[in-house]
Structure 1
């Protein structure tokens, strides 16, 4: 079936679901808690220890990344989040009474985080990762709410989503939720260690790693059978790699130290954080405690080995442009990354055996050549080395040639990319 026909059927199905849901669903009124309850809650929320804990948890959850417009007031919303269905602006979550969450009770906040519903019971767009945040405990949610309530209020009205019909009909989300969302707080596994459970809680819930590192279908639903097995980030066209560290996983061969180093400093002996992950390290993971970083690494290292389908290598056929790519590599890349792709420890990442280079798609390698590679500046690596962009120097054919050379040299045996795909990625928006 051709893509156009599939899209037409999908839109028709969603239209029908939207109309049915609109007929069945009527938003309720805001439930106003008794004044005495609100006063007692407000006093509890002013506890300095609770606010400090909430600040840490909000940082781990990287809340500011979405809820802060570039150059704008922190947490005041306004940033437009791109999705395959249109743009959705993140709301203002400062305690402004008129445009933020100033009039929200903790019950309202818990309902949004745990159930994915607004104050009136309206379903929230899943660009807000409540599909993961539902696992956050009530105590942690209260701490985050206390921190947000402690922020200076910013008066900034929310913008309307830029969604076409039927996606613009919010009640159509009821059908989506029935298929792809089930509320549920994280329950520790008694057969596992406290460290493993802490890592699982952070990765599955507050860290919401699955939201990027898992394949999504045409409806935007995550594949439950491919937990953290890698996937293209919708609308951004970056590939979030498989996070499994066992055989067949994208981090196979990574030590616990390699994982912790990358999350703490943005670089490790096995690779460097770039693209969207550089922002995650800069704004979130570098600020995590050492104990939490170790817990995340322990959980990722314990993910099961990938099955034959996930681990099976792509049939290797060397690109016809291999010689041309080798000449380009020698001229443009070898001075930093080494003649044999070995890199320079602590400075330039290795390309030989690099999981991001050897991934199922060449997207990240192509975009890095076009846009450059910029590791995040962190406390542990305040002056990172960067790679310059080559979009103005190399044609689509040349970019394809050098990327194919890198993906098919030394021990690398990945599939080739076509110049047409380079051209498409060249014109993909950066953010």
Structure 2
């Protein structure tokens, strides 16, 4: 038995080595020289807009650091990846890169020297960016002031830290691709699909991931827990989560532009997306994204509210008292909220969907919509981590999920404790 296991391990190692050799030989150094002439103002402006659409600065800027100089930690189940310096510094940034180097990074997930990049950089999505858009992005980045900031070494566990492991992962889950318009759809729909599936990389959050960190297809927006952040990105197709099929287009556009709408408010990671990206997009691009998202075919729900039993009387009474003392002044006696300020809890899909991760996050740590031009002074939720115990949080959320016509499963004290223990 031991010999069989050893043979299997050596066989897998040999397969990994062969795949790595194949990948590496296919991606050696490119010997192109950096552009000699400065980019045009038009290209820089176009690239700046595309960088906003892709929300590139958020990940490639350390908190309190120089824009695009990298160093921001991205925690993953396999360790920490640090974003790279994208300023045109020749020693530490992309100052020595050519247009071909940059295109290859976006389209194939390879660095200047052919080294495989970790998929924390979403090249599974940027592979669909057109060559013209890639060039504009490159021109914008090389127009920035250079920042001499060395890239930090990633802190990943073995074997995830090896190029061989990356090569195996890519062989299983990545194929370079290009965006192709659907001739059966309108030009506006195709523009929305390009932004959502490529630059916007929406499915990087709004889809579940397997044990090796691979997500589903780019068209899969069925929701998933964001690794290490304990926020759940809801399904954009399910009518019981964040499906938009029955929304007016104007309300979808309003949500993407301001972070609030009559039917929803964005919090957590999505608030950062609106703050740094979508609020800055042209109205035509926001509408195109809305058209595409509204067209997603409705996905079946995995819950049946009719089968949910009411909580025990002591839990419900405890939750009702906490709601009266802590919540009612904002969210109302009947959970109706206050239009434009505090969201209604009655009939709210964010309250009743199967995953309770976001509810627990908001009660423990608070949450604010983004400050946008259309909503410059957003009302938010204060944190209660130091005020309410795990049992208190579970009770009040169970009360909210089973009151005013809401029919959803109770929240357990264990679920609250797990999220509190893991931090934000």
Deviation at 1:257, TM superposition (A): 2.1
Q: Secondary structure at the match of 2:340?
A: coil
| TM-score between the two structures when normalised by the length of structure 2 | 0.92
CA displacement, residues 217-262 of structure 1 (integer Å, 9 cap, x when unaligned): 1111113397111100011110001112768754464322222111
Decide whether the 8 Å contact of 1:122 with 1:171 is kept in 2: no
Instruction: Give 1:316's match in structure 2, choosing from 308, 323, 326.
Output: 308
Decide whether the 8 Å contact of 1:397 with 1:419 is kept in 2: yes
Query: Which residue of structure 2 lines up, in the alignment, with residue 426 of structure 1?
Result: 420
Q: Are 1:359 and 2:353 counterparts?
A: yes
Decide whether the 8 Å contact of 1:93 with 1:101 is kept in 2: yes
Deviation at 1:122, TM superposition (A): 1.9
| TM-score between the two structures when normalised by the length of structure 1 | 0.90
Decide whether the 8 Å contact of 1:14 with 1:166 is kept in 2: no
Query: Which residue of structure 1 lines up, in the alignment, with residue 179 of structure 2?
Result: 186
CA distance in 2, matches of 1:226, 1:195: 17
Query: Which residue of structure 2 lines up, in the alignment, with residue 157 of structure 1?
Result: 150
Deviation at 1:429, TM superposition (A): 3.2
Alignment of 1:253-332 (within 5 A): 253-307=246-300, 310=302, 315-320=307-312, 321-332=315-326
Q: Are 1:133 and 2:120 counterparts?
A: no
Deviation at 1:173, TM superposition (A): 1.2
Q: Are 1:215 and 2:216 counterparts?
A: no
Deviation at 1:177, TM superposition (A): 1.1
- Provide closer, same or farther for how the CA distance between residues 141 and 375 of structure 1 changes in structure 2, counting only shifts above 3 A: same
- Provide closer, same or farther for how the CA distance between residues 136 and 416 of structure 1 changes in structure 2, counting only shifts above 3 A: same
Q: Are 1:337 and 2:336 counterparts?
A: no
Q: Are 1:384 and 2:378 counterparts?
A: yes
CA distance in 2, matches of 1:303, 1:310: 18
Instruction: Give 1:233's match in structure 2, choosing from 226, 229, 244.
Output: 226
CA displacement, residues 272-297 of structure 1 (integer Å, 9 cap, x when unaligned): 11111111111111101111111111
CA distance in 2, matches of 1:114, 1:271: 35
Q: Are 1:175 and 2:168 counterparts?
A: yes
Deviation at 1:12, TM superposition (A): 11
Gaps of 5+ in 1: 1-10
- Provide closer, same or farther for how the CA distance between residues 338 and 401 of structure 1 changes in structure 2, counting only shifts above 3 A: same
- Provide closer, same or farther for how the CA distance between residues 29 and 123 of structure 1 changes in structure 2, counting only shifts above 3 A: closer
CA displacement, residues 366-404 of structure 1 (integer Å, 9 cap, x when unaligned): 110000121111111111111110000100000011111
Decide whether the 8 Å contact of 1:249 with 1:305 is kept in 2: no
- Provide closer, same or farther for how the CA distance between residues 248 and 420 of structure 1 changes in structure 2, counting only shifts above 3 A: closer
- Provide closer, same or farther for how the CA distance between residues 12 and 418 of structure 1 changes in structure 2, counting only shifts above 3 A: farther
Q: Secondary structure at the match of 2:422?
A: coil
Q: Secondary structure at the match of 1:356?
A: helix
CA distance in 1, matches of 2:385, 2:255: 27
CA distance in 2, matches of 1:102, 1:215: 36
Deviation at 1:317, TM superposition (A): 2.3
CA distance in 1, matches of 2:12, 2:81: 18
Query: Which residue of structure 2 lines up, in the alignment, with residue 31 of structure 1?
Result: 30
Query: Which residue of structure 2 lines up, in the alignment, with residue 5 of structure 1?
Result: none
Structure 1 window deviating more from structure 2 (175-184 vs 80-89): it is 175-184
CA distance in 1, matches of 2:196, 2:265: 20
Q: Secondary structure at the match of 1:387?
A: coil
- Provide closer, same or farther for how the CA distance between residues 408 and 19 of structure 1 changes in structure 2, counting only shifts above 3 A: farther
Deviation at 1:314, TM superposition (A): 8.2
Query: Which residue of structure 2 lines up, in the alignment, with residue 86 of structure 1?
Result: 79
**Aligned-residue RMSD, C-alpha:** 2.3
- Provide closer, same or farther for how the CA distance between residues 360 and 20 of structure 1 changes in structure 2, counting only shifts above 3 A: farther
- Provide closer, same or farther for how the CA distance between residues 248 and 240 of structure 1 changes in structure 2, counting only shifts above 3 A: closer
CA distance in 1, matches of 2:325, 2:305: 30
Instruction: Give 1:416's match in structure 2, choosing from 401, 410, 415.
Output: 410
Q: Are 1:77 and 2:70 counterparts?
A: yes
